[in-house]
Structure 1
Amino acid sequence: MNSLLKIPSLLLGLIKPKSNKLEIECYGQGDSAIEMQQIQQIIEWLFASLMNAGYQGMSHLIWDLGEQDWKQVALTGLLRDEPVFLYRCNDRPSLPPEHCYWRLMTEYSSLRIYQLEVLER
């Protein structure tokens, strides 16, 4: 029943007009114990990576403490065809939504950034 209540917010996210400029929306940043300088470096790296890939639009960055439920954020991004990233603040990332996985982005030196990918059937 609880997931049925989230359907209207997912649908609203789908009809929201897509951005034509590069934006990174962050979630959970206030919960993490990461210093502002480190946060800035991570966002700058992600911004440069997205620009280098030629991406324009909204992307999502989750500051994850582990064992958190980010399914609504992740699914909204996936349904709108927007990249979803996760920065692992603790030992393990939170579980991805069903039929998805967190792909480690080895391009970043800390090995703590993941991109949400859909499992191939």
Structure 2
Amino acid sequence: MLSQPTSDPPTPIISSYGQSECGVPMEVMQPIMEWLFASLLNAGYYGTPHIVWYNDAAPNPQLEKAVKDGIRRDEPTLLYRCGSSVQPPPKSYYWRLMAEHPSNRIYQLEVKDED
């Protein structure tokens, strides 16, 4: 009998942008990333989501590109609000608060419904 090679199950790889500008300490970021990873696994998602750490006091134009890359690739795009407001969403999109996280600072980019 031949033994079959075992392969690890697929896992999400989270692309993260803006961590250094957001001002949130790594010890705060780590449990947020763990929660996000567990949420993705629970939802059965094994692709590449994107998380943007947005600080309105230190805006970074590259973060808008990261959001648009997530849209173009049809991958989940999330935002952690480090300051008092969220990054303006692209046209025809909005940021939905993910109330399931206790921080009330994590948002998922959603397509607006056509009226």
The equivalent of 1:3 in structure 2 is: none
- Counterpart residue identity of residue 46, structure 1: L
Equivalent pair of 2:18/2:60 in contact (CA under 8 Å): no
- Which of the two has greater helix per residue? 1
Q: How is 1:35-54 mapped onto 2 (pairs within 5 angstroms)? A: 35-54=25-44
Q: How is 1:8-87 mapped onto 2 (pairs within 5 angstroms)? A: 21-66=11-56, 68-69=60-61, 70-87=63-80
- For normalisation by structure 2, the TM-score amounts to 0.83
Note the C-alpha offset of 1:71: 2.9
* Percent identity for Structure 1 against Structure 2: 45
Note the C-alpha offset of 1:68: 4.8
Q: Distance in 2 between matches of 1:58 and 1:43?
A: 13
Note the C-alpha offset of 1:35: 1.3
Note the C-alpha offset of 1:23: 0.6
Q: Distance in 1 between matches of 2:52 and 2:31?
A: 15
Q: Distance in 1 between matches of 2:29 and 2:16?
A: 11
Which 4+ stretches in 1 moved above 6 angstroms? none
The alignment's C-alpha RMSD in Å is 1.3
Instruction: Count the aligned residue pairs.
Output: 102
**Which has the larger Rg?**
2
- For normalisation by structure 1, the TM-score amounts to 0.79
